[in-house]
Chains A and B, each alone.
Chain A
Amino acid sequence: MASLDDLKKRIASVKSTQKITKAMKMVAAAKLRRAQESAERGRPYSEKMNNIILNLSNGISDKENAPKLLSGTGENKVHLCVVMTSDRGLCGGFNSNIIKKAKSYFSKILNEGKQLKIITVGSKGNDQLKRVYGDKIIENISFKESKNANYFDADKVGRIIIEKFEAGEFDICTIFYNQFKNVITQLPQAQQIIPLNNEEDHNNSDESYEFEPDEDEILSNLLPKNISTQIFKAMLENSASEQGSRMSAMDNATRNAGEMVDKLTIEYNRSRQAAITKELIEIISGAESL
């Protein structure tokens, strides 16, 4: 059994850990509000962008000559996966969930005999992936300096991707991120951004648009922007998810620390009482023997 002194030290240490986790929870809660707001405010932009592209691609005259970013290279050999994670840890299952999703996708691709290339955004993802897929990672981007997700950073990632696409380095690009549903639920997502996946093709927009300049030119101008926009959306969702996940993780940690302190306190009191009882017995039996 641990000595009284040891127990005392442990209680103190758990208590100070609890203080830290509590503070982190508060910070995460405050940041979450802001992140959630900006995620919600960012939605109209990406939705409108999607709408316009949908209208455009419906209006495009010959699909054969459509920009490659829309229709793809026609091949399906090299996959580029952009795994977006956070730069900080202590946020529960946030990073592992993305990694898990990404890894199952990776093994599917590799089993099909296709080539895999990985770009990691955020250092935590890189840390977890480089052990197994180290040779597949072609780039690691991290935005540790920037406090909030901003469009400028997203645009940088977008440009890198487009550059690589135009250099013919890959055929299909998928991004992995966590979609923010609520504080306790974040859904890891795999979204294909090149070629553009318009499964939900609503053909109800039969009204005609006037284009100036023509469709092709607008599309080729718009599609790269759309990629940055999608990445930005993913970044916003990710940062809201990260804070949400951290908040609930820290809440749990605080609660667990509380339980631990209670348990240790009981143990401490018990052993203190046991020591007192022992001393009393010794005194009494000593007195009796006289």
Chain B
Amino acid sequence: MSEEFKIEIVNPEKSFLVKEDVLEVVVPAFEGEMGILKDHISIISFLKPGIIKVFSKSGDENYYVEDGIIEFKNNNLSILTSTIISVADLDKSKQGDLLKKAEAEASKSEISDQAKYLADQKVEVLRSIN
């Protein structure tokens, strides 16, 4: 029996990634990392800044996301996100830019606790890459 399911990542501009031969996806859900295998129960959750790991027959890929919503239904995983960058494309300068932005955001004093938490997450994740 095949263990594969379909993943579709869309951002507002386009359909970012469609893959049919995915074995496992690990997403940074809001309440902790979540691994999704075939025949997972239908679920809706949203993401915090982190790395989406896609394990598929045709190779593994990692993506950096800042936010998003996931929906899993009938072995279809949809991820909606406004900011997504493939880790492979994320060179040092881009990473530095994002990090600077995130740090600036995190050091603002007037933001809410949740926003602060998210910004801290961003900083942490960006630092952990490489």
| B86 in the interface (beta carbon within 8 A) | no
Q: Which of B8, B14, B82 contacts A38 (CB 8 A)?
A: B14
Q: Which of B10, B43, B71 contacts A45 (CB 8 A)?
A: B10
- B80 proximity list for chain A (CB < 8 A): 45, 48-49, 52
- B44 proximity list for chain A (CB < 8 A): 52, 55-56, 209-212, 218
Main secondary structure, interface of A, reads helix
Contact of A48 with B78 in the complex, beta carbons under 8 Å: yes
Contact of A213 with B31 in the complex, beta carbons under 8 Å: yes
Chain A, 137-155, contact with B by CB distance < 8 Å: what is the 0/1 string? 0000000000000110011
Main secondary structure, interface of B, reads strand
Q: Which of B13, B31, B42, B45 contacts A151 (CB 8 A)?
A: B13
Of residues 204 through 242 on chain A, the ones whose CB sits less than 8 Å from some CB of chain B are 207-213, 218, 221-222, 225, 229, 232
Contact of B43 with A210 in the complex, beta carbons under 8 Å: yes
- A9 proximity list for chain B (CB < 8 A): none
- A44 proximity list for chain B (CB < 8 A): 8, 10, 15
| B46 in the interface (beta carbon within 8 A) | yes
| B12 in the interface (beta carbon within 8 A) | yes
A285 to B29, CA, bound (A): 102
| B98 in the interface (beta carbon within 8 A) | no
Chain A residue at minimal CB-CB distance from B15? A44
Q: Which of A154, A207, A222 contacts B42 (CB 8 A)?
A: A207
Q: A52-B71, A213-B30 are in contact. Are A45 and B11 (CB under 8 A)?
A: yes
Of residues 26 through 47 on chain A, the ones whose CB sits less than 8 Å from some CB of chain B are 38, 41-42, 44-46
Q: Which of B8, B11, B13, B31 contacts A212 (CB 8 A)?
A: B31
A52 to B78, CA, bound (A): 10
- B41 proximity list for chain A (CB < 8 A): 210
A55 to B73, CA, bound (A): 11
A116 to B44, CA, bound (A): 37
CB distance from A201 to the nearest CB of B (A): 18
Contact of A210 with B71 in the complex, beta carbons under 8 Å: no
| B69 in the interface (beta carbon within 8 A) | yes
Provide 16 A-B residue pairs closer than 8 Å at the C-beta atoms, listed in order of the A residue. A42-B13, A44-B15, A48-B10, A48-B71, A51-B71, A52-B78, A52-B80, A151-B12, A151-B82, A154-B12, A207-B42, A208-B42, A212-B34, A213-B31, A213-B45, A225-B82
B residues contacting A by CB (< 8 A) are: 8, 10-15, 29-31, 34, 41-46, 67, 69, 71, 73, 78, 80, 82
Task: Please list the 10 inter-chain residue pairs (A to B) with the smallest Cβ-Cβ separation, ordered nearest first.
Answer: A41-B14, A151-B12, A212-B45, A210-B43, A45-B10, A209-B42, A45-B12, A44-B10, A209-B44, A210-B41
A residues contacting B by CB (< 8 A) are: 38, 41-42, 44-46, 48-49, 51-52, 55-56, 150-151, 154-155, 207-213, 218, 221-222, 225, 229, 232
